[in-house]
């Protein structure tokens, strides 16, 4: 079975969050399971700079996206996973680290065109006119950036072509002015609420939700949540209507996130050598200028600093945390008021609060390995990978019980304590977070109880094998 997997991010070439991790590790797991899968990504500068294999360029017909473009065929660096790169300098050769925004932090004015082109090329590769000999049997799109492709297939004569859309985050919808409709070659007749229109705009995500044959989200709980007004971002009606086509498949984690083999951390360890985790804590404290206090509870966060992630709840609790033997290490980037407040806290509590406002892959691994507790009080969380990484590294997660966090973290009080992996709270407010934080702090003073949580987390199977099989069954049911 041939699968075309389309994504706007792929680790380690271009990453703003978990989409990049999944777009690497899920196709890799499927590739290793013998599936003939190719991943299509845009040729941003960061992608083009890392291409090493021979690239066999295929020119794309000029009328397709109205600007010169070619398709490069290569493999993801360091792997044998086939990669297709849409090389179109006019759309993707842009400055700055973000694939979506200019260096001033504003969305690129022509994102509709850029990701409309990605979707258009995906559709083209599924058609008889594809320049490649390799033809997909199924198109697997991810998030709004490629969600227009199923609509293009349906509206341009291939309504039965098998398509799957995975929603990694319903809050990002790709909604644009209706004027883009004609520039994207979309029939004006499709601009109505049963098709592409969403509150007067052209919505890429809604198009995918409406036209893809099957839909998945990245955890079972989130698949249920998005059918409600609280989590549905206005699309709950459509999602409820399509509930029989909607499935939640929990993400796994890439084998590169393993403390025994991770080259980015100071000291390798596993369950049989858990004492070495303390060496990572010590190294992290030194690296971040935190006091060398082995007994303090070291709290880590690696996150986008946004409302979704509940960083404001953490800000409300930081001062109280400083009344206890606690240190905090935050790595993140986001809106500037939040960044400024975090900076102020780190200045007020030198040696106790460290704030790194950046995107750093090595530091993310070091914080996950060196912290005792990982804070993840997200208001909503489709899956969340950071809590999975934390558990694999014996770092105990404290999470808001929502979406994938609810599906992956078991509170030590929920079941019998022997099965717990972390701490959960139910209401997304600072009081609930604080109460649960005090519970975690108390538990930390009982090494045996803490060790049980660590051990359970490290034994949790977060590999992709199971989920990859679920995707495979889904593919098979569609082809």
Q: Note the residues at the interface with ligand GLC (CB under 6 A).
A: 17-19, 22, 168-169, 218, 251, 381-385, 404
449 binds, among ligand GLC, ligand ADP, none (CB under 5 to 8 A by kind): none
Q: Which residues pair with 42 in a beta bridge?
A: 86
Nearer to ligand ADP, 94 or 379 (CB): 379
338 makes contact with ligand ADP (CB under 6 A)? no
Nearer to ligand GLC, 13 or 321 (CB): 13
Q: What are the DSSP E strand ranges found in 53-156?
A: 58-59, 70-75, 82-87, 138-142
343 makes contact with ligand ADP (CB under 6 A)? no
Q: How far apart, in whole angstroms, are the C-alpha atoms of residue 356 and residue 343?
A: 9
21 makes contact with ligand ADP (CB under 6 A)? yes
Q: How far apart, in whole angstroms, are the C-alpha atoms of residue 335 and residue 306?
A: 7
Q: How far apart, in whole angstroms, are the C-alpha atoms of residue 190 and residue 88?
A: 27
Nearer to ligand GLC, 246 or 383 (CB): 383
Query: Among 237-245, 286-294, 301-309, 441-449, which window interacts with ligand ADP (CB under 6 A)?
Result: 301-309
8 binds, among ligand GLC, ligand ADP, none (CB under 5 to 8 A by kind): none
Q: How far apart, in whole angstroms, are the C-alpha atoms of residue 227 and residue 246?
A: 10
Token pair 């912290």 is found at 371
Task: Name the nearest CA neighbour of 100 among 38, 144, 40, 147.
Answer: 144
Closest approach, Cβ 378 to ligand ADP, in A, equals 8
403 makes contact with ligand ADP (CB under 6 A)? no
Nearer to ligand ADP, 168 or 214 (CB): 168
359 binds, among ligand GLC, ligand ADP, none (CB under 5 to 8 A by kind): ligand ADP
Closest approach, Cβ 208 to ligand GLC, in A, equals 15
Cα dihedral angle (466, 362, 336, 174), rounded to 10 degrees? -40
Nearer to ligand GLC, 130 or 462 (CB): 462
460 makes contact with ligand ADP (CB under 6 A)? no
Query: Among 13-21, 63-71, 100-108, 275-283, which window interacts with ligand ADP (CB under 6 A)?
Result: 13-21
Q: How far apart, in whole angstroms, are the C-alpha atoms of residue 338 and residue 391?
A: 27
Count the neighbouring beta carbons within 10 Å of the beta carbon of residue 337.
10
385 makes contact with ligand ADP (CB under 6 A)? yes
302 binds, among ligand GLC, ligand ADP, none (CB under 5 to 8 A by kind): ligand ADP
- Show the CA angle centred on residue 10, arms to residues 258 and 221, nearest 5°: 70
Contact 92, 43 (CB under 8 A): yes
Alpha helices in 242-348 (DSSP H): 277-288, 311-321, 336-348
Closest approach, Cβ 366 to ligand ADP, in A, equals 10
Q: Which residues bind ligand ADP (CB under 6 A)?
A: 17-18, 21, 302-304, 331-333, 359-361, 364, 383-386
């Amino acid at each position: 079975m041939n699968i075309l997997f389309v994504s706007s991010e792929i680790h380690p070439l271009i990453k703003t969050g978990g989409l990049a991790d999944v777009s690497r590790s899920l196709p890799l797991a499927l590739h290793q399971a013998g599936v003939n899968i190719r991943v299509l990504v845009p040729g941003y500068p960061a992608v083009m700079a890392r291409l090493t294999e021979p690239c066999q360029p295929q020119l794309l017909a000029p009328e397709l996206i109205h600007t010169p473009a070619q398709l490069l065929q290569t493999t993801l660096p360091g792997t044998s996973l086939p990669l297709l790169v849409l090389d179109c300098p006019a759309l993707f050769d842009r400055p700055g680290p973000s694939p979506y925004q200019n260096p001033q932090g504003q969305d690129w004015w022509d994102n509709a065109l850029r990701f409309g082109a990605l979707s258009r090329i995906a559709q083209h590769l599924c058609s008889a006119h594809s320049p490649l000999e390799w033809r997909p049997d199924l198109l697997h799109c991810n998030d709004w950036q490629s969600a227009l492709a199923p609509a293009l297939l349906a509206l341009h004569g291939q309504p039965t072509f098998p398509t799957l859309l995975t929603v990694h985050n319903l809050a990002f919808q790709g909604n644009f002015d209706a004027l883009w409709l004609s520039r994207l070659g979309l029939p004006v007749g499709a601009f109505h609420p049963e098709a592409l229109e969403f509150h007067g705009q052209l919505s890429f995500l809604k198009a995918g939700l409406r036209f893809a044959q099957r839909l998945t989200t990245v955890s079972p709980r989130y698949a249920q949540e998005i059918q409600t007004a609280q989590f549905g971002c206005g699309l709950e009606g459509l999602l409820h209507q399509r509930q029989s086509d909607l499935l939640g498949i929990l993400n796994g984690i890439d084998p590169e996130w393993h403390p025994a083999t991770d080259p980015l951390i100071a000291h390798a360890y596993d369950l049989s050598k858990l004492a070495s985790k303390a060496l990572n804590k010590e190294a992290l404290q030194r690296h971040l200028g935190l006091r060398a206090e082995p007994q303090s509870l070291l709290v880590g966060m690696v996150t986008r600093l946004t409302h979704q992630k509940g960083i404001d709840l953490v800000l409300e609790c930081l001062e109280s945390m400083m009344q206890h033997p606690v240190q905090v290490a935050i790595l993140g980037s986001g809106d500037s008021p939040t960044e400024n407040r975090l900076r102020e806290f780190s200045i007020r509590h030198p040696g106790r609060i460290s704030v790194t406002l950046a995107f750093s892959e090595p530091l993310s691994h070091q914080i996950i390995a060196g912290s005792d507790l990982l804070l993840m009080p997200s208001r909503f969380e489709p899956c969340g990978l950071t809590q999975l990484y934390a558990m694999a590294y014996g770092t105990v997660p404290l999470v808001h019980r929502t979406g994938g966090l609810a599906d992956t973290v078991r509170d030590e009080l929920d079941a019998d304590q022997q099965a717990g992996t972390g701490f959960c709270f139910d209401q997304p407010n600072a009081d609930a977070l604080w109460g649960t934080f005090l519970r975690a702090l108390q538990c930390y003073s009982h090494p045996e109880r803490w060790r049980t949580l660590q051990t359970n987390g490290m034994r949790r199977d977060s590999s992709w094998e199971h989920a990859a099989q679920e995707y495979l069954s889904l593919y098979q049911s569609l082809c």
